[in-house]
Amino acid sequence: MQNWTDMPHRIIRTEMTKRGINYAGLVERFARIGIIENERSLRNKVARSTFSATFMLQCMVAMDMMVLDLGGYEMPQPAGPIIAGE
């Protein structure tokens, strides 16, 4: 079973693989949209999987990913009932 924290990392890595993009290629694609990053920084951000929604959107745009279909991803399931406020 997956957890929510792993989801952003898995989505970015899966979409990179689908598109044949490695981290060096992602650096080039970031540069095309005016964002300067280095390969090590991108690799670390993606591996951490605790990046901002802004970074996720930047990755999506850099990869020409205009639609995110979550249907192909295993969603985390709660272990028990979810109670608001806890």
Q: Show me where the domains of the chain are located.
A: 4-64
Q: 82 CB contacts (<8 Å, ≥6 apart)?
A: none
Model-level pTM greater than 0.85? no
79 DSSP assignment: S
Alpha helical stretches, state H, 6-79: 7-19, 23-32, 39-48, 53-62
Q: pLDDT-derived band of residue 21, with 50, 70 and 90 as boundaries?
A: very high
Task: Of 9-13, 41-45, 73-77, give the lowest mean pLDDT range.
Answer: 73-77
In single-letter form, the type of residue at position 81 comes to P
Cα 30 to Cα 26: distance, rounded to the nearest angstrom: 6
Only one residue has tokens 């990053």, namely: 37
d(CA 53, CA 69): 16
pLDDT exceeds cutoff 80 at 35: yes
